[in-house]
Amino acid sequence: MQIVVFSTQRYDRELLTAANAEHGHALVFEEAPLSLSTASLAAGVPAVCIFVNDHADAATLAKLAAGGTRLVALRCTGFNNVDLDAAARLGIRVVRVTDYSPYSVAEHAVALLLALDRKVHRAYNRTRDGNFALDGLMGFDLHGRSVAVLGTGKIGRVFARIMAGFGCELLGYDAYPNAEFEALGGRYAGLDEIIDRADVISLHCPLTPETRRIINADTLARMKRGALVINTSRGGLLDTEAAIGALKSGQLGGLGIDVYEQEAGVFFRDLSSSIIADDVLQRLVAFPNVIVTGHQGFFTREAIGTICATTLASASAFERGEPLVNELHAG
């Protein structure tokens, strides 16, 4: 089956091609992201494969459907960029990768936390210039600190397990409490208590109307002064402008993010020789107590291997008319 793969990088081409050896699909790689203006690239093709910053809104899906596309395969877990109601109306089936290495993102969250707390990024730059002074590099022990895990799904629980190993107090916030989190010594609490108590808040929840900008001007103002926030989940969970205000006042002690609400068009691209027009992002990276990585939390050999294998297996199942175990449904 022919599949147009949007938003491809070199590693996408290499790894999807390798995983495709046992499936035999005809993969057409496009660097451009999926949008209304690029949907015509899939004209006459039954399936497309998209990523986190592709736009599969109603208009784009209608154009795909008119061209004969009947399957949208997300090579990621999040699906807030797909209008599932529109897909159902148009007869387009949507699949995603429901499960890949939870360790990849959880470990990256820990890496951001440790680097932010112990000022590793600043020390690295100093020592390369021959500056071995310690002024300005003091952190705090994680042992005994309160760490809030907002979203205790697979990734959140792996993060919590690592934090338990540091000897942290674990506070959980989730609409669906999990016994495994509690078995780690974690305790579920309301958002107000978590905001008041936590020294570190790490975001691992999906982006929904209820969680959008769950970290906002109000919650930032009520946090412990100097608390750290880590976001490796979805950019829209954080009100970035409010975070900048809290950083400027010193209320927010530090911010480590691997996702950004306006990351489309910036992340996954080399813009080192360009002027980045996003003033908010430029202000963020100017803070010495902010670390921004370019949505690389998922980027391990194990995770990418699973993503490629799962995506192509779903395409093969669709081609054979078999049940789609990773299918998304409207509502």
- Given this model, what pLDDT does residue 99 score? 85
Residue in the structure block whose two tokens are 């409207």: 330
Looking at residue 331, its pLDDT comes to 75
Give the model's pLDDT for residue 49.
Answer: 98
Assess whether the region 2-100+300-328 and the region 102-292 belong to the same CATH fold.
yes
Q: pLDDT under 50 in the chain at which residues?
A: none
- Domain 102-292 is classified in which CATH homologous superfamily? NAD(P)-binding Rossmann-like Domain (3.40.50.720)
Q: What is the pLDDT of residue 16?
A: 97
pLDDT at 158: 98
- pLDDT value, residue 265: 84
3-state SS track over 107-125: HHHHHHHHHHHCCHHHHHH
Q: What is the predicted pLDDT for the residue at 264?
A: 85
Residue 276 contacts residue 266 (beta carbons within 8 Å): yes
Instruction: Tell me the fold of 2-100+300-328.
Output: Rossmann fold (3.40.50)
Catalytic positions, please? 234, 263, 295
What is the structure's pLDDT at 114?
98
Per-residue confidence (pLDDT) for residue 89, from 0 to 100: 97
Where along the chain do its domains lie?
Answer: 2-100+300-328, 102-292
Q: What does the pLDDT look like over 308-330, one tens digit per residue? A: 999 999 999 999 999 999 999 99
- Whole-model pTM? 0.88
> Is residue 250 packed enough to be buried (19+ CB in 10 Å), middle (13-18) or exposed (0-12)?
exposed
Q: What is the pLDDT of residue 56?
A: 97
For 171-186, letters b (16+ CB in 10 Å) and e give bbbbeeebeebeebeb
